Every structure is written in C-alpha cells, then in structure tokens.
Amino acid sequence: MTRDYGEHIRRSAQQATDMLLDELADIEATAPRDAAADPDPAVEAPDASANPARDLDPGIEAPAALPPPEQPLPLVPTPGALPPPLAGLPPPPALPPALVAAPSPPAALPPPPPPPGGTGPRAAHESGDSGRLAVVVPILLATLGLVAAVIAWRAGVAGSAADDANRGGLDASRERAASVIINEGLTARATEAYMDYERSRRRAVALAAAGANDQAHLNRMQAAGHWFLVRPEYLDRTGQYQPSQQRAALLTDDEQQKDIQPLAHFSSADAQYARLQGLIGAGIVVAFALPFLTLAEVGRGRLRIVSVVAGVAIFLGGAAMAVTAWV
C-alpha cells in the first residue's frame, strides 16, 4: 500500500512540473504581444489598414488578427486544490495507522555503567599500578626466557666438559695400567738378576774357601754378568736391592712423560656433573615462574599483582641457584 501511494505522489509531481513548464513557455511567448498591445504614446502607431505585403503584391491578403492571449494560470496553485490534469486521478490510498500515527519519542538511554575499577583516588592508583605492571610483565617474561637460555647453554657446556673429563680419566687409567705392567716386568727382571748375582757371589766365596779357585772364579764371572742388570741406585746402604724404589721411580718417570693420572680427570668430571645437576635444578625452578608470569600477563587487579610477586620470587630463587651451581 505504501508503495502505491508513493507512486501516485511521484506521478502527480511529474504532471505538475510538466504543467508549470508549459505555462512558463506560454508566458514567454505572449510577453512581446502584450508589449505591442501597449505601445509608447510618443511613437506613432502604424495604420492598421496599411498592408505592406499587399503594396508589394496585390494578390497577398493581410493576415487575420491574432486572438487575444488566454489568461495564464497562476504559478503557485491554490492550497488544497490539485491542478486540472490531476483531477481525474483516483484518490491516493490511505496510509496504515502505524504510519499515520505520530511517532512516540525515543526512550531515554540508561546511564553508562561505571568503570570496573571504580572512581576516586584509589581507582586511579590501581589503574596506574596496572599500567606499570603491563609494562613490567613482558620485560620479566623476556628476562626469564634469556636466563633460561643461558642456564641451558651452561648446562650443555658442563655436560660436555664432564664427558670429556670422564673420557680423559679412562684414557689415563689405561695408560697407567700399561705403565704399571711394563714397570713391573722391569722390576721383576732386576730382582731376578740381583738374586742370581747374590747366589753366584756366595757360591764363589764358598768355593774359594774350599780351595776350588777355578770354580770360584767362574762363579764370580757369572755374578758380574748378573750385576749389570741391577740398577745400583736402587740398592740401600747395606747393598740390598729395593724393588719398590725401582717400581716407584719408573712410575714417576712415566708420569712426567705422559698422562697417567686418572684421579684428576675423574675429580673434574665429578665437579662438572655436580654443576650440571645444580643447573638442571635451577632451570626447573626458573620454569616454575613461567605460569605465574603468564597469569600476570592475562590477569587483572589483585590476581596480576599476586602472580607478579610469586613469579618474581621464584625466578630470583632459580637465578640464585644457577649462579651458586656455576660458581
């Protein structure tokens, strides 16, 4: 129904516009004739009976007089009256009551709710704290990630050093065992030569006392041959051979030439393993601070403050453990 009424109004307006344009064209066309109907008195009016065209050509008749112009319609129609072309149109359909009724004034909007933190100095102070914490929490998270990366790096270094020291201790143990075996063979040969020397010497003494000088001389020669295999620096003041001295001297000489001290390597490996365990424990403690700082990042109010305090305390404890383990 509303669409039909709008179409009716549009057609009526179009017809009224066309009518007004036609009336304006008629007014412009009749304006010169009105001026000619009221000539200036100073100018002499031409003779109506004169016909210039007939003077030129007697067969041409004078044109008939023009009819008087019609009275133009007013430009503005009378209020309440439609133009004549619209008189035959059907009346516009009635609007529905919902459109005819005057619209009711809009209901007043409710006042906006107060901010979550309230108003007043306390709310402003809490808002300022939240703003500062919003800047501090990302910095703490970045610092936590950096410290965790350093702890992981140092733990890797400690583990690698411990493995290297352990392998060095095993290599030194093998070298020491080989040196001990070789030195023990040299010491056994020297001990056997000394015993052969003593046996030949005492036999020569006994044979010389019995008057068998030839046999005694032969045993002395055998004793001298065995003596060349005995190192005199390993004899004590009484002339007795000390195999323990030779064994210790040979081992000391090997220690100066190559690495055969496994205890130093194993002690270093133990220290590195202890450092590694301390760094792993510190890394676990630092990792426990991550959930609290994450909660502080997404939380608000007291929850954020409590989470920040707990996260910072755990983080500092883990960092202190890492420093203690490394030093």
- 113 lies in a domain? no
- 289 lies in a domain? yes
Residue 73 contacts by C-beta under 8 Å, 6 or more apart in sequence?
19, 23
What's the pLDDT at 76?
A: 47
- 181 lies in a domain? yes
Calculate mean pLDDT across residues 85-108.
53
Residue 4 pLDDT > 60, yes or no? yes
- 32 lies in a domain? no
What's the pLDDT at 63?
A: 47
What's the pLDDT at 193?
A: 86
Given a contact cutoff of 8 angstroms between Cβ atoms, the answer to whether 286 and 318 are in contact is yes
Residue 284 pLDDT > 60, yes or no? yes
- 254 lies in a domain? yes
**Helical (H) or strand (E) element with 241:** none
Residue 169 contacts by C-beta under 8 Å, 6 or more apart in sequence?
262, 263, 264, 265, 266, 269
Residue 283 pLDDT > 60, yes or no? yes
Residue 104 pLDDT class (50, 70, 90 cuts): low
Residue 149 pLDDT > 90, yes or no? yes
C-alpha 228/C-alpha 225 separation (Å) is 6
Residue 20 pLDDT class (50, 70, 90 cuts): confident
Tell me the per-residue pLDDT of 39-55, one tens digit each, with 9 for 90 and over: 444 444 444 444 444 44
What's the pLDDT at 235?
A: 83
Give 114 or 10, the one with higher predicted confidence. Answer: 10
Structure-block tokens of residue 287: 């990792």
Which residue(s) pair with 235 in the sheet?
241
In the 3-class helix/strand/coil scheme, how is 16-37 assigned residue by residue? HHHHHHHHHHHHHHHHHHHHHH
C-alpha 12/C-alpha 90 separation (Å) is 11
Short-list 319, 292, 324, 285, CA closest to 308: 292
Amino acid at 277: Q
- Could you tell me the residue range of the domain that residue 212 belongs to? 132-326
Task: Quote the number of domains for the chain.
Answer: 1
What's the pLDDT at 60?
A: 46
- 141 lies in a domain? yes
What's the pLDDT at 286?
A: 92
Residue 209 pLDDT class (50, 70, 90 cuts): confident
pTM: 0.48
- 220 lies in a domain? yes
Residue 1 to residues 58, 87, 94, 197, Cα–Cα distance (Å)? 69, 21, 8, 145
Tell me the per-residue pLDDT of 241-282, one tens digit each, with 9 for 90 and over: 888 888 888 888 888 888 888 899 999 999 999 999 999 999
Structure-block tokens of residue 229: 């295999």
- 3-state secondary structure (DSSP) of residue 317: helix
What's the pLDDT at 227?
A: 82
Give 44 or 147, the one with higher predicted confidence. Answer: 147
Which residue(s) pair with 241 in the sheet?
235
Calculate mean pLDDT across residues 29-37.
55
- 63 lies in a domain? no
What's the pLDDT at 225?
A: 82
Residue 62 pLDDT > 50, yes or no? no
